[in-house]
Structure 1
Amino acid sequence: MHSKKIKVQIMNPGLLEEDCLVLGELLIKQLKIPTNHPLQLSFGSFRHNVKVIPLSRLDGIRISQGLAKRMALPARSTLRITYRPHSSTIQLGPIIGVLISRDYPESPERPFGPITLFCRELANACQRQGVFVYFFTPSHIGSNSSNVTGWVYADGWRKTDLPAANVFYNRLTSRKLENKPSVQHFMKEVKSLFGSHYFNEKFLDKTEVFDALGHAPALSVYMPESHLFRNFAMLKSMCNKHPIVFLKPIKGSLGKGIIRISRLEGGGYQTLTAQVGGTQKQTYPSLAKLFSALSGKMKSTRYQIQQGLHLMQMDRRPVDFRALVQKNRFGKWNVTSIVARIAGNQHFVSNLARGGSLCTLKDAISRSTLPPQIKKKLSARLKKAALDIAKGIDEQIPAHFGELGIDLAVDQHGRIWLLEVNSKPSKNDNTPIGGGKVRPSAKQVIEYSRFLSGF
């Protein structure tokens, strides 16, 4: 759909009626907007009947102050405009609504805590592309789905009432918030009433991902043996097959609570458990004793049991990879970035929250102990694996995703394995953003939102 980026001029009271839009003649001609009969103006869920007044030397749009107030448009806005002839609708927008877990109104400089920089970056990028973005939490959702209270950025953050968006981007970091009836009801309503799109609509559990992708023959090459952990027989079977086995909380994140089980040379078993301050080590004379110790944890936490891997190393530390895969302006999956994650001194997991560190993909490959012939093609093979897995998620899991964090491992023979898929990859303020620079990851969110909304 053809859209144009335009500046919105808000007229002083008394100069223009609320049901009139002033548009440049060239714009009217380019978008084939009729001027001889009433039209509808839409901005997200906002609808208003208008008539168009042509003006020869105007390259933007003029609207009344009263109409701008009802649309919640700040002064000096830049938006995109398109005309939908089948419904005689002039559409302004698009609007992206970003659903976040919490806000801190008492901190106007940092209203979204550790993701404030990302939100500001997204707001800056939207402004450049003529896209309107706001940020809201589940507590901002009221009984009327056509309106929400949210935050917009215009010379500082401010809270206001806003129309429902064309596209909603789910950045909730809590399953409890995501499953709230008010959130589920709101998303269902905006989809059916206003045709809104909602992406990254749900968390992914480890069991769900491995079970779903296990049905795709083309992906089996990336899949370590993995099951929902149920009983002693399963533990015994996995430990007999694999020298190292991992237990991962199926709803866990940041590497928290992962348990590494390995056979000891002189008999018995050792567990390493990822904790905040380091790794807790314990030994057991038998598998039965180990299972008995795990039984208490299994009452409150469900685990995925997974084949352990001998990972490639860099500076004698295990390395894995996080690929950020996003849909682009054509609605196709695209690898935005791949970074290497190196496990910290006191840890066997590579998450930053557990003392891990980041380095570039190129650096990790060149400094690894892998043979030269494997190093040569590894970057391209990791990108292909990430894309294959993202497409597999789309095909096998009935939910709408536009962005995935895909954790991949490479073993000491150069084989690529899937570790985990995360539908809420981190946006915390741990990546420096200088001079108003917009990272490709923020641009992709906007490009995909424009694709979904037809702008």
Structure 2
Amino acid sequence: MGHKLVGILLNADMHRGVPRLKTGQESLSNYEEGAAAYGLVPCFLKLADIDTDSGFSAAYIKGSHGYKSVVVPTPTVIHNRAIYSQNSPGMQRLLRHHPLVYNTCNRYGKDEIHELLEQHEGLREILPATTGVSGLKQMMNRYPDLILKPCRGSIGNGVMRLVRKGPQRWSLNYLSPSMRRWISTPVYQGALPKALRARLASVPYLVQERIPLAEIGGRPFDLRVTVQRGWGGDWQVTGLFAKLAPPGGFVSNIARGGEALSSSFALEKAFSRAIAAHIRMAVETLSLVIARCLEQDLPGLADIGLDIGITKDGRIFFIECNGRDQRYGFHKAGLTEIWKESYRRPMGYARFLLEKNSLIYNSY
């Protein structure tokens, strides 16, 4: 296999850190290793440096003295790891000239994903009851425990919990602005605080029945499942790990104090070994079904992270889909080989697209 370029599209801030090896949780060395396995050389791009008229781009490529910016023919295949809206003019322009951009959009509304999955009758039973803010009163009448979260957002930002404490009495729980402690404040159903109403009006929120998650030592956990397309183009489960909420917390995001654990370890702490193995297999099967359903409506989908909840009695629920999966959880859970594979597999998909495009081109 001759070495070919594969583009890795980054946001400007992360792209700026490439020559200094300061790219946050993105591992440049894993991209290099994963791409090399498929005869590819990764070049790191930002949207502003792609000249669609000339067909050339400025990109960072690793040389003997580190990463240097060089001008190269814009790669035929580009893996999008930047966050752009579906209607971004720059992304639309790129797609017109370079259609082989995968994970084209990687920020979808939680309400949008829920509605897409709800269209599939076989998946409705694994979806928590969900509504917009307009249905908050009805949800408070139906369920004693609710999660309120922004429709668009990540790493647990802005997530709140409403817990019924008695007739018309509730407790609102949320992370302090400093993100150092959890705050609990009383709320009365007939008169929500002005600050809460203002917050819910400022950005679109989702109201969801809280799933009574399985726990370890009183701390709830859920599973992050990385589902990717690789060589051959088929969806595969690359791996999964558990996200354990911090003591006293209800949000399991690692960036909010959650702890990453091996999924086998976490499940076997909460269930018998046989039941844990059954749950793990069922979660992997469900995750593949979800990915295949979503791809029908989301063009270019190729690399996602699914949050899956398991109740204390072993029921499985879909929580949300992450279009830009943060793979570092595998590293934090001590699953180094799976962490590397989560970079390698998308590079296999890039090679598959290159080969497929070459066959189509040569057939004319």
TM-score between the two structures when normalised by the length of structure 2: 0.88
CA distance in 2, matches of 1:119, 1:382: 30
Distance 1:436 1:349, change over 3 A: closer
Match of 1:242 among 128, 143, 148: 143
Q: Tell me whether 1:277 sits opposite 2:180 in the alignment.
A: yes
Secondary structure of 2:98's aligned partner:
helix
TM-score between the two structures when normalised by the length of structure 1: 0.72
How far 1:340 sits from its partner (Å)?
0.4
Distance 1:251 1:106, change over 3 A: closer
Instruction: Specify the alignment match of 1:217 in structure 2.
Output: 121
Amino acid at match of 1:150: A
Determine which structure has more spread, i.e. the larger CA radius of gyration: 1
Distance 1:246 1:332, change over 3 A: same
Instruction: Specify the alignment match of 1:361 in structure 2.
Output: 263
Instruction: Specify the alignment match of 1:125 in structure 2.
Output: 34
Does the CA contact (< 8 Å) of 1:145 and 1:190 recur in 2?
A: no
CA distance in 2, matches of 1:413, 1:435: 31
CA distance in 2, matches of 1:402, 1:103: 24
Instruction: Specify the alignment match of 1:201 in structure 2.
Output: 104
How far 1:291 sits from its partner (Å)?
6.2
Instruction: Specify the alignment match of 2:159 in structure 1.
Output: 258
1:176-225 residue CA offsets vs partner (Å, 9 max, x unmatched) = xx75422321222222xxxxx11111121101100111000111121111
CA distance in 2, matches of 1:158, 1:242: 56
Secondary structure of 2:6's aligned partner:
strand
How far 1:407 sits from its partner (Å)?
0.2
How far 1:400 sits from its partner (Å)?
1.2
1:26-425 mapped onto 2 (5 Å cutoff): 79=3, 93=4, 95-103=5-13, 109-115=19-25, 118-142=27-51, 144=53, 146-155=55-64, 156-173=66-83, 175=85, 179-191=87-99, 197-202=100-105, 203-229=107-133, 231=134, 234-265=135-166, 267-275=168-176, 276-284=179-187, 286-290=188-192, 292-368=194-270, 370=271, 374-395=275-296, 397-425=297-325
Does the CA contact (< 8 Å) of 2:126 and 2:317 recur in 1?
A: yes
Distance 1:108 1:383, change over 3 A: closer
Distance 1:172 1:280, change over 3 A: same
Instruction: Specify the alignment match of 2:347 in structure 1.
Output: 446
CA distance in 2, matches of 1:429, 1:401: 21
1:128-152 residue CA offsets vs partner (Å, 9 max, x unmatched) = 4311221111221235251111111
Secondary structure of 1:305's aligned partner:
strand
Q: Tell me, which stretches of 5 or more residues in structure 2 are unaligned?
A: 357-364
Distance 1:174 1:398, change over 3 A: closer
CA distance in 1, matches of 2:330, 2:273: 33
CA distance in 1, matches of 2:316, 2:329: 30
1:235-265 residue CA offsets vs partner (Å, 9 max, x unmatched) = 1211121111111101110011111111103
Does the CA contact (< 8 Å) of 1:338 and 1:361 recur in 2?
A: yes
Identical aligned residues as a percent: 23
Does the CA contact (< 8 Å) of 2:327 and 2:339 recur in 1?
A: no
How many pairs are equivalent? 351
1:294-320 residue CA offsets vs partner (Å, 9 max, x unmatched) = 221123211011111110001211010
How far 1:278 sits from its partner (Å)?
2.5
Instruction: Specify the alignment match of 1:34 in structure 2.
Output: none
Which structure shows the higher helix fraction?
2
How far 1:119 sits from its partner (Å)?
2.1
Distance 1:143 1:401, change over 3 A: closer
CA distance in 2, matches of 1:199, 1:273: 36
Does the CA contact (< 8 Å) of 2:260 and 2:330 recur in 1?
A: no
CA RMSD, 1 decimal: 2.6
CA distance in 1, matches of 2:75, 2:308: 34
Distance 1:296 1:454, change over 3 A: same
Does the CA contact (< 8 Å) of 2:213 and 2:310 recur in 1?
A: yes
CA distance in 1, matches of 2:16, 2:148: 41
CA distance in 1, matches of 2:233, 2:208: 33
Distance 1:240 1:436, change over 3 A: closer
Distance 1:437 1:326, change over 3 A: closer
CA distance in 2, matches of 1:451, 1:430: 25
Distance 1:386 1:435, change over 3 A: closer
Does the CA contact (< 8 Å) of 2:223 and 2:307 recur in 1?
A: yes
1:43-97 residue CA offsets vs partner (Å, 9 max, x unmatched) = xxxxxxxxxxxxxxxxxxxxxxxxxxxxxxxxxxxx2xxxxxxxxxxxxx3x311
CA distance in 2, matches of 1:446, 1:139: 23
Larger mean CA deviation between 248-257 and 260-269 belongs to 260-269
